[in-house]
Amino acid sequence: MNIRDEVREFLASAWTPGMDSATFLQAAVDTGWLAPTWSADWYGRGLSAEDAEIVGEEFRRVGAPGRADRDHLHARVIYELGSDQLKSTYLRDLLTHTVSGCLLYSEPGAGSDLASVRTSVVREGDQWRVNGQKVWTSGARTAAYGLLAARSNRDVPKHRGMTFFVIPMKQEGIEVRPLVQITGDAHFNEVFFTDAWVDDANRLGEVDDGWRVLMTALGYERLVMGARGVGSRASDPTYVGTGDDLLALAERHGRLEDPVIADQIADIYAERTAARLNAARYAAEGKGQDAAAMSLGKLMMSRILHGTAGLRRDIVGAEALYDERADPPSDGEVANFFTLDAYFTSIGGGTDQVQRNIISERMLGLPKDKDASKDIPFRDVRS
Which residues face 377 on adjacent strands? 157
Cα–Cα distances in angstroms (integers) from residue 25 to residues 20, 37, 39, 86, in the given order:
9, 16, 17, 20
Which residues face 21 on adjacent strands? none
Per-residue burial over 281-305, b = 16 or more CB atoms within 10 Å of its CB, e = otherwise: ebbeeeebebbbbbbbbbbbbbbbb
Question: Interhelix angle for 3-14 vs 49-62, to 10°?
Answer: 30
The alpha-helical segments, DSSP class H, found in 229-258 are 246-252
174-179 and 127-134 as β-strands: parallel, antiparallel, unpaired? unpaired
CA distance 352 to 171: 35
CA distance 275 to 289: 16
Which residues face 177 on adjacent strands? 190
The alpha-helical segments, DSSP class H, found in 36-159 are 49-62, 68-71, 73-81, 84-95
CA distance 134 to 138: 11
Catalytic residue, candidates 53, 58, 107, 221: 221
The alpha carbon of 363 is separated from its chain's Cα centroid by a whole number of angstroms, namely: 22
Q: CA-based diameter of the chain, in Å? A: 70
CA distance 226 to 238: 17
- Helix (H/G/I), strand (E/B), else coil: 44: strand
324 is catalytic: no
- Which secondary-structure segment (H or E) carries 122? strand 120-124
Cis ω before 328 (30° cut-off from 0): yes
Residue whose C-alpha is closest to residue 294's, from 230, 225, 352, 370: 225
CA distance 111 to 348: 10
**Residues with a known catalytic role:** 221
